[in-house]
Amino acid sequence: MVLVVIRTVLRPDADVAAYEALAVRMDALVRTIPGFVSAEDAGELSLVRFASLEALAAWRNHPEHLEAQRAGRERFYRAYRVEVYEQVRAYDGPAGRG
Amino acid sequence: MVLVVIRTVLRPDADVAAYEALAVRMDALVRTIPGFVSAEDAGELSLVRFASLEALAAWRNHPEHLEAQRAGRERFYRAYRVEVYEQVRAYDGPAGRG
């Protein structure tokens, strides 16, 4: 399992409506990528999970997503940080309740 | 870099004041662990970063933390999920602005 943690800060002059429309489109598009697992917003963070680094690469290089990434850099983001992680382990609890 | 993602659901009958006091204490304690990097709350998630799996193991096995984990299982949590990740890569942008 691969986890991508994305933190973004919008430019003060960003067109928020255009940004949100693009974000909605990207949220729909990422769900079509084979190996996509889940996406969630958690405050200022987005957490996106893929089954493998290959699935993430397919998303990262999707032509429409590449265009959106460029729009993000050029028009929307003052700053962003993307962190890519591979899962080591996971566990649930309490036993029998989780 | 190691990232721990923790999602918790309190029991409906949990003593919230006692739980919050314990959480404050654990937040202070984890910061004393060599290799602790950062801790943040993001909605229903907590994200805690350590420099290495060894630093995480030191925290996981800290005697006072072991006691708190037991209290969590027995008194506070209806459910929890802990995921441990190792960082593959990270990048910032836009170039020169990040």
Summarised one tens digit per residue, pLDDT across range A9-59 is: 999 999 999 999 999 999 999 999 999 999 998 878 999 999 999 999 999
What is residue B21's predicted lDDT score, i.e. its pLDDT? 97
| Average pLDDT for A77-82 | 95
**Residues of A (5-64) whose Cβ lies below 8 Å from B:** 5, 41-45, 47, 53
Q: Is B96 on the interface with A (CB under 8 A)?
A: no
Q: Minimal Cα distance from B74: which residue of A? A: A94
**Dihedral angle, C-alpha B74, B76, B80, B86, nearest 10 °:** -90
Residue A74 pLDDT exceeds 60: yes
CB < 8 Å to A73, chain B: 93-95
Of the pLDDT bands very low, low, confident and very high (cuts 50, 70, 90), residue A63 is very high
Chain B touched by A88 (CB under 8 Å): yes
Residue B27, sorted as left (phi over 0), alpha (psi -120 to 50) or beta, turns out to be alpha
Low-confidence ranges of chain B (pLDDT < 70): 95-98
CB pairs under 8 A between A and B: 101
> What mean pLDDT do residues A63-88 have?
96
Q: If you measure CA to CA, which chain B residue comes closest to A81?
A: B92
- Strands A36-42 and B45-50 come out as unpaired
Cβ of A96 under 8 Å from any chain B Cβ? no
Is 50 exceeded by the pLDDT of residue A78?
Answer: yes
